[in-house]
Amino acid sequence: MAMVGDRPGAEVAVSPAKAIEMAKAKGVQIVDLRFSDLFGMWQHFSIPMTELSAELFEEGIGFDGSSIRGFQTIHESDMILVADAASATVDPLSRIPTMLLVCDVYDPITRGRYTRDPRFVAQKAEEYVKKSGIATTTYFGPEAEFFVFDDIRYDQNANCAYYYVDSSEAAWNSGRDERPNLGYKPRHKEGYFPVPPSDSLQEFRSEVVLKMQEAGIDVEVHHHEVATAGQCEIDMRFKTLTKMGDQMQLYKYLIKMLARAHFKTVTFMPKPLFGDNGSGMHCHQSLWKDGTNIFYDAKGYANLSQTAKYYIGGLLKHSPAMLAFCAPTTNSYRRLVPGFEAPVNLCYSKRNRSAAVRIPVYSNNPKAVRLEYRPPDPLANPYLAFAAMTMAGLDGIKHKIDPGDPMDVDLYDLEPEEAGKVKQVPGSLDEVLRALESDHKFLLEGDVFTKDLIETWITTKRAKEVDYIRLRPHPSEFYLYYDA
């Protein structure tokens, strides 16, 4: 088996001995082994500290792959996890001192990496970037938004379907008898940046940030987001592709766990509320070669190089297929709706947030030049989403795909004839899955994605999500049609 330092995309060469030494120094009693299923849910099981040895980082430990979504069938269930020493961190929220280790998935028969392990896809994408000769490093900085609610109830049966969410700061509770109701509840679409007490979650987010820093995550900023009822954002400093995939999983875990400790609940659903903003995961990204940002050109539009523009061309061309990984749920398309300030327009622009690709212009520093791909949402499997964006961008560079002229206008004020010329993202999960079926060659380059993974993704998404929703009456249909 490959050692940690030999794996594609390894962030830092940390020896198993160093990880074990750190565990002992921190008084660790439990070691938690973590990995992602195909669709992005973090999985785990734990071992006592007495079982932590160099073999865990070399030979690995077995588990049942047939019980993990998108993995193995029952007759080929045995799989192996090999811990990555570079990922070792002490859980800042566990009462019992616990070390977290992110693991890679191996096939016990071939002793090789498992092709449906999302982390392996991310590592292969990083390796492909290097082999392409175009760049040596790809950086990602996702901005994952989320809601913090006080109560959530939902059910789905043959004779009923409902959901109910509530928040003490929600606009709809301005008239509730709270004995006393102290007010300061942000109105719909007015949650962006008001100070406390309107921002009732300042202390909660600050506590999350401190715990993230304890866990080794570099945080740049936190704030309330646009929607009422507790929409928030915490931004991490950019990292390399696989490392940021690891951090996104840890990010979600820490926020959910700390919310639960405060008797609150967090959701990363892109559209949990009707009539207010949804939650996106805008992805800042750039390519570097030997320490130089190859997206920078002082003479280019918004300081962008021609290479960066070709990268944008790849993102825009492959967006319909790519969104099967970047906006991968039926709920994603409750957010990506034309005319409602969503980034549905397949064009690029500096500063314009209604374009699929925005070029931030906060700084002229060459190191800060990057592009922001806005359609993704935080239900995406970060490993697969970041890898898919990278592969689309590289395809644009390789084939010199022209993204056209930038759209530095208010896209909502365009005349209908002009607006009709701007392509938009597909309107449903079923549409993007069909787009992925017809456009996935760019993902197969370098064996980064495999046909088996793509087919499993499409088949499972259709059966478990598209058909699940399509076959059930919607509560609003009763409102519209029951008395017809």
Q: Please report, for the domain that includes residue 182, its CATH number.
A: 3.30.590.10
**Strand ranges (DSSP E) for 252-368?**
265-267, 281-289, 292-293, 345-350, 355-359
Give the torsion through C-alpha atoms of 35, 5, 241, 137, to 10 deg: -170
168 is written with which tokens?
């003490």
Q: Is 56 helix (H, G, I), strand (E, B) or coil?
A: helix
Residue 126 lies in a domain: no
Query: Domain check: are 343 and 216 in the same one?
Result: yes
Query: Domain check: are 36 and 170 in the same one?
Result: no
Answer yes or no: 64 catalytic.
yes
Residue 366 lies in a domain: yes
Please identify, among 114, 147, 168, the residue that sits at the C-terminal boundary of a domain: 114
426 is written with which tokens?
């597909």
Query: Domain check: are 377 and 409 in the same one?
Result: yes
Query: Domain check: are 150 and 72 in the same one?
Result: no
Answer yes or no: 395 catalytic.
no
The residue written with tokens 């409750």 in the block is 334
Which residue out of 260, 351, 353, 472 is catalytically annotated?
A: 353
Answer yes or no: 233 catalytic.
yes
The whole-chain average pLDDT of the chain stands at 93
For 89-117, what is the mean pLDDT? 95
For 409-424, what is the mean pLDDT? 78
Query: Domain check: are 79 and 192 in the same one?
Result: no
Answer yes or no: 7 catalytic.
no
Which residue out of 169, 276, 372, 395 is catalytically annotated?
A: 372
The residue written with tokens 């092709």 in the block is 115
Which residue out of 34, 113, 119, 282 is catalytically annotated?
A: 282
Give the torsion through C-alpha atoms of 21, 22, 23, 28, to 10 deg: 130
For 206-221, what is the mean pLDDT? 97
State the CATH number of the domain containing residue 76. 3.10.20.70
Residue 124 lies in a domain: no
Residue 394 lies in a domain: yes
Residue 31: CB atoms within 10 Å: 23
Which residue out of 21, 51, 64, 218 is catalytically annotated?
A: 64
Q: pLDDT tens-digit profile of 343-378?
A: 999 999 997 778 999 999 888 899 999 999 999 999
Q: How far is it, in rounded angstroms, from Cα 382 to Cα 245?
A: 5
Confidence of residue 12 (pLDDT cuts 50, 70, 90): low
- Give the CA diameter of the chain: 71
Q: What is the secondary structure of 170-231 as a DSSP string? A: -GGGTT---SS-----PPTT--SSPPTTTSTTHHHHHHHHHHHHHTT--EEEEEE-SSTTTE
The residue written with tokens 């300030």 in the block is 341
Residue 345 lies in a domain: yes
Query: Domain check: are 260 and 305 in the same one?
Result: yes
Answer yes or no: 116 catalytic.
no
Which residue out of 84, 374, 377, 465 is catalytically annotated?
A: 374
For 446-468, what is the mean pLDDT? 97
Name residue 329's amino acid.
T
Query: Domain check: are 281 and 392 in the same one?
Result: yes
Query: Domain check: are 250 and 284 in the same one?
Result: yes
Which residue out of 91, 233, 276, 297 is catalytically annotated?
A: 233
Q: How far is it, in rounded angstroms, from Cα 321 to Cα 40?
A: 18
Answer yes or no: 143 catalytic.
yes
Please identify, among 80, 114, 148, the residue that sits at the C-terminal boundary of a domain: 114
Which residue out of 91, 143, 276, 377 is catalytically annotated?
A: 143
Q: Is 338 helix (H, G, I), strand (E, B) or coil?
A: coil
> Range of 298's domain?
137-481
Query: Domain check: are 169 and 212 in the same one?
Result: yes
Query: Domain check: are 143 and 274 in the same one?
Result: yes
Residue 431 lies in a domain: yes
Q: How far is it, in rounded angstroms, from Cα 130 to Cα 115?
A: 20
Domain count, the chain: 2
Q: pLDDT tens-digit profile of 116-169?
A: 999 999 999 999 999 999 999 999 999 999 999 999 999 999 999 999 999 999
Residue 121 lies in a domain: no
Which residue out of 225, 276, 430, 465 is catalytically annotated?
A: 225
For 440-464, what is the mean pLDDT? 97
Residue 120 lies in a domain: no
Query: Domain check: are 302 and 212 in the same one?
Result: yes
Query: Domain check: are 97 and 143 in the same one?
Result: no
Q: How many helices (H) and strands (E) are present in the chain, helices listed first?
A: 14, 18
Q: pLDDT tens-digit profile of 264-321?
A: 999 999 999 999 999 999 999 999 999 999 999 999 999 999 999 999 999 999 999 9
User: Computed over its alpha carbons, how large is the radius of gyration of the chain?
Assistant: 23
- Report pTM: 0.95
Residue 9 has pLDDT above 50, yes or no: no
Please identify, among 83, 114, 145, the residue that sits at the C-terminal boundary of a domain: 114
Which residue out of 11, 37, 91, 145 is catalytically annotated?
A: 145
Answer yes or no: 78 catalytic.
no
